[in-house]
Amino acid sequence: MLDRLRALWAERPAVVAAAVIAPIAFVVTLLILFVAVGNTNGGTSQDQSVAQEAQDIDGGQQAQTTTTQQTTVVVDTSSDDDQPDSVSEVEQQTSQQDDARSSAEDPGVDSEPQQEASEDQQSQVQQQQAQEDMGPRMVGGWTVQPLDSVLVEDYEEESLRHGTDGSEGGILPIDNGVVVSSQPEQRTTWELIVPSAGLKSTIVQVGRTPTGAMGSPDNPFVIGWLNSSAEPGAVGNTLLAGHRDFEDKDGNVGTGVCWELVNTVVGDQMIVVDNESNLYYVYTVTEAATVNPRDPDSAKYLKNTDEAVVTLITCEGSFNAETHQYSHRRVVVGVLSAVASPDA
């Protein structure tokens, strides 16, 4: 065999070299591939090991967090009787605690009404402070006082039995000084209160009769205000009139709004209430007299004045069945003594 290889080497050395080198090269190539594949698998295993190790760390942290949460839920300072009896109760408590934390962190819609209420309270306080800074409220040169502080005596609403809001309309015949006064445009925001006469009634506007005299309302249960005279609370003579009794269009007879005005004397009070402004104009009676309308001196009660005065007139004396007129008039005069409000 060796002799054959020597002869072949002598004849064809290149062939012999190739035959020897090729297997060696093949083996070397296999070794190189094996080493390369081995290193690749090792790197992959190392990467997988690192990833697994990181995953184990994260898992440990999650496990630790879960354990902490469970511990927070389970730990309780209440007595054994208050401890939850089942896992579902623990879960319910956990949910309630989460809701409470969520409400504390984000009050949401429920906080809006509280915020609005707080803003309203702050606005009221600011308005009150601004009013205090401006000083007492003034109306027509008068300081508005608390109503309770200016009343001579308290009165009960039940005792004010004479007078209405005028909803009955015009029920009296238009004659003997009665004028139309129950139209909507003749209503006012005022009402008259005379505690000594048990009177509380709305006030309507009246004009003059064809002869130029002050008219009386076509409703016997209300007070008429001569709309050419001073308004309540203003400087001047505020002329008011009301019926003592009446006979309506159907012949019915009854007592009117001023039925007990005869009981009002000097020192009593007459109060005109402005329901729009919630102001009470308090007048102190300075004169209560019976006068003859045919006496020229009686005209003085109809004249204007330099101070705020209210003059209330009704019928009095003997009644003439033929003329349907009384012989005299009852006149009560009051001077403005205070401007008040229940809110002052």
Tens digit of pLDDT per residue, the chain (344 long)?
Answer: 556 656 665 666 665 566 666 667 666 667 766 656 555 554 444 444 434 444 444 444 444 444 334 433 333 434 444 444 444 444 555 555 555 555 545 545 455 556 666 777 787 777 666 555 667 899 989 999 999 999 998 889 999 999 999 999 999 999 989 999 999 999 999 999 999 999 999 999 999 999 999 999 999 999 999 999 999 999 999 999 999 999 999 999 999 999 999 999 999 999 999 999 999 999 999 999 999 999 999 999 999 999 999 999 999 999 998 888 999 999 999 999 999 999 98
> pLDDT value at position 275?
97
> pLDDT value at position 344?
87
Dist CA 341 CA 344 (whole Å): 5
CATH match of 142-341 with 1.10.150.20: no
> pLDDT value at position 236?
98
Cβ atoms of residues 145 and 344 within 8 Å: yes
> pLDDT value at position 220?
98
Least Cα distance to 228 among 217, 244, 218, 215 occurs for: 215
Dist CA 130 CA 72 (whole Å): 52
**In whole angstroms, how far apart are CA 307 and each of 175, 254, 282?**
33, 36, 14
pTM: 0.63
The encoded tokens of residue 343 equal 């809110």
For the chain, give every domain's residue range. Answer: 1-66, 142-341
> pLDDT value at position 14?
64
> pLDDT value at position 315?
97
